[in-house]
Structure 1
Amino acid sequence: MSVNPDSAVILVADDDPFIRHMLTSYLEREGYQVIEAPHGEAALDLYFYHLPDLVLLDALMPVVDGFEVCRRLQALTQGNLAPVLMITGLEDEKSVDQAFEIGVVDYVTKPINWAVLRQRVRRLILQHRLEIQLREANHRLQKLTMIDSLTQVANRRRFDEYLLQEWGRGVRESLPLSLVICDIDNFKNYNDHYGHQAGDRCLQEVAKTLNQCISRPADLVTRYGGEEFAVILPNTTMEGATTVSQRLVQGIQQRELPHDTAPQAIVTVSCGVANVLPMADYLPSDLVFTADQALYQAKAQGRNQYQAIYVMPPAAKQSMPPGAASAMPILRSLWPEA
C-alpha cells in the first residue's frame, strides 16, 4: 500500500499533552501533516476548518468525550466523515461495540503499538482516498447520464427531474415557474436538403446558441426530443419568460445559419412560453401542455416568433364564464425584422 503523505492531514484529538505530543512527533516523522486538538470541542471546530484525511480520537476526554465527538461529526457530515481511529485504554466489549456503532472504523489500545498504528493509519487513509475517488467517478457518471450526447445540453431525463424539482420548490415557496419549448422551423426540410449529418451539426449549433442566451445558473436548456428544446426558468414571471424567449428567437436568427428551403433562407426557431404559479391543484404536465399549445400558436402565426400562455390559477378559472378556455393567450409575438 502506498500513500502520499505530503497531502495527508491527520487530526489528533487527545486531552493528554504527553500522548498528543508523542502522536504528533511520530506522525510528522512519517511525513503526515498533523493538527492537534486538546479537547473534543476543539476537534469539532478543527475538523471543518482542515477537513482531515483521518481523525485520531481519544475515547476519554473531559466535557465532550471521543464518543460524543464522533456522534456529532457523523450528524454534521451526514455520514460523509473521514475515517475515525479511536485511541483508547478501554477494551471491554461494551466500549468496543459502542465505538463501532457510532461510526469509528478502527481502534488501537494504550499503550500504543507504533508499528500497528503506522499500518492502520496508512490503510485507513488509502481507503478514504479510494472512496473519494469512487464517489467522484460515480458523480461524473451520473452527470453523463443527464447529458444529451449529440448537443451536450441536458437530456429529457434531466428535464423531467429538474421540472419536478422546481415545481416542488415553487409549491413550497410560492414562486412562479416558466417553461419555453423551442422547435427548429422546417427542420425536416433541412434534413432532406442538407442530409442528416448536417442536421446534427445544426442541432449542435442551435443548442449552443440557446445556452448562450441563458444568463442565470438556475435556468436550464434541455433537448426535449428530436428538433425540440425546452428551457426551464425557475422563479420567473411571464414578463421575464417572454424576454428570454425573444432573446432565444433573435439569437438563432442572428446566427444566420443557411437554410435554403426556409422562407427566410436561414435557420429559425419558434417558441411556446407558459407560466404558472405551481400549486397542488396542478401537475407539471399542465405547464408542458400549455407551452406546447403556445408553440402550436407560434407555428400557426408564421414561425420565427414566440407565443405565450398563462396557466390560469383556480380562482381565475372560477370567475370565468362557463365554457371559457382555461388558458389565456398573450397576444404578443416576435416577427422577423424587415
Structure 2
Amino acid sequence: SIPPEELFREALELADYFEGIVRETRNRAERDLLTGLRNRQGLARITPRLERRLVERRRNREAEAKSDFVAMIDIDFFKSVNDRFGHPNGDRVLREVGQTLAHTVRWRKDITARLGGEEFFAFLSASGREGALASAERIRQAVEKALIPLDDFPAIQVTVSVGLAELRALPPAAAGAKPRVEGALADAIERADRALYEAKHAGRNRVVVSQE
C-alpha cells in the first residue's frame, strides 16, 4: 500500500497542477490574443484595484500632486490600412502598435490594454498632468517613428491620436456622503474618449487633455 505521506504529497502536486491550469485559463481569457495586452475582461478584473487608488491618495496628501491619468489611444485612418493592405497586414499593424505601447510605458507602473478594433488604453500611474502628457507624447512619437513590415507590401508608418483624462472620484451620492470611487475609471475613460475625439477633429496625430 502507498504510505499516507506519499498520498498527501501527490495530492498537493495534483492541486498545484490544477491551480496552474485555472491560472493559465484565466490569463488567456483576460489577454488579447493578437497583441498580448489585457483585453476588456482583463481590465474589468483590475478596475476595483485601480479605483481604490483614489482612496489611498486621500490618505496620503503628498500623493495628491501625482494623480493617475487614463489615455485612450486610436490608430489614425486604420480602416484604410485594412482596405489597402488586407486584414492580415492590419493585424500586423495592431500587433506592432500594441508592442510599441507596451514598451513605451513604465514597466510595472503603467497598465495597457486593447479594448477592441484599433482602440488601445493606458493607465498612467501617479504621473500627474505634466507626466501623463509627457508619457502620452512619448507613445505618440514612438508609434509615429516605428517602421512596420508588411507581407507583400513595403513597410509603412502609422500615427495615433490620444485623449487624456484624470482619474478622479465621482460626486457624493447624497449630501454629507464621501465622494464615490466606484465607476471612476469608466468616467475617466468617457472623458478621455471625448478628448480623443477632439484630437481626431483637430487633425489627428496629437494628444489632447480633457478639460472636463
TM-score by length of 2: 0.82
Which residue of 1 is the match for residue 162 of structure 2?
Answer: 271
Match among 118, 122, 132 for residue 231 of structure 1? 122
**AA of the residue aligned to 1:187:** F
Aligned counterparts, 1:1-338, within 5 A: 119-174=3-58, 176-257=67-148, 266-278=157-169, 280-281=179-180, 283=183, 284-310=185-211, 327=212
The answer on whether the counterparts of 2:112 and 2:122 sit within 8 Å (CA) in structure 1 is yes
Offset of residue 278 of structure 1: 3.0
Q: Which runs of 5+ in 1 are unaligned?
A: 1-114, 260-264, 311-326, 328-338
**AA of the residue aligned to 1:301:** A
**AA of the residue aligned to 1:216:** W
**AA of the residue aligned to 1:251:** A
**AA of the residue aligned to 2:95:** Q
Listed one character per residue, the Cα deviations across residues 285-317 of structure 1 (whole Å, up to 9, x for unaligned) are 21011100110111111111110125xxxxxxx
Distance 2:32 2:109 in 1: 18
**Bigger radius of gyration, 1 or 2?**
1
Offset of residue 138 of structure 1: 1.1
Distance 1:235 1:166 in 2: 11
Offset of residue 258 of structure 1: 7.8
Listed one character per residue, the Cα deviations across residues 7-38 of structure 1 (whole Å, up to 9, x for unaligned) are xxxxxxxxxxxxxxxxxxxxxxxxxxxxxxxx
Q: Number of matched residues?
A: 190
Distance 2:44 2:5 in 1: 45
Structure-2 change in CA distance of 1:227 and 1:220 (3 Å): same
**AA of the residue aligned to 1:141:** T
**AA of the residue aligned to 1:271:** V
- Structure number with greater CO (CA < 8 Å, separation at least 6) is 2
**AA of the residue aligned to 2:4:** R
Higher helix proportion (structure 1 or 2): 2
TM-score by length of 1: 0.53
| CA RMSD after TM alignment | 2.0
Listed one character per residue, the Cα deviations across residues 68-116 of structure 1 (whole Å, up to 9, x for unaligned) are xxxxxxxxxxxxxxxxxxxxxxxxxxxxxxxxxxxxxxxxxxxxxxx8x
Distance 1:156 1:232 in 2: 13
Structure-2 change in CA distance of 1:133 and 1:276 (3 Å): same
Distance 2:105 2:27 in 1: 20
**SS state of the match for residue 180, structure 1?**
strand
Distance 1:242 1:163 in 2: 22
Which residue of 1 is the match for residue 175 of structure 2?
Answer: none
Which residue of 1 is the match for residue 176 of structure 2?
Answer: none
**SS state of the match for residue 204, structure 2?**
coil
Offset of residue 207 of structure 1: 0.4
Structure-2 change in CA distance of 1:242 and 1:163 (3 Å): farther
Listed one character per residue, the Cα deviations across residues 172-226 of structure 1 (whole Å, up to 9, x for unaligned) are 4336221001000000111111111110111001101111101230311100111
Q: Point out the more displaced range, 299-308 or 265-274.
A: 265-274
Distance 1:272 1:163 in 2: 19
Q: Point out the more displaced range, 173-182 or 213-222.
A: 173-182
Offset of residue 168 of structure 1: 1.9
Distance 1:233 1:247 in 2: 12
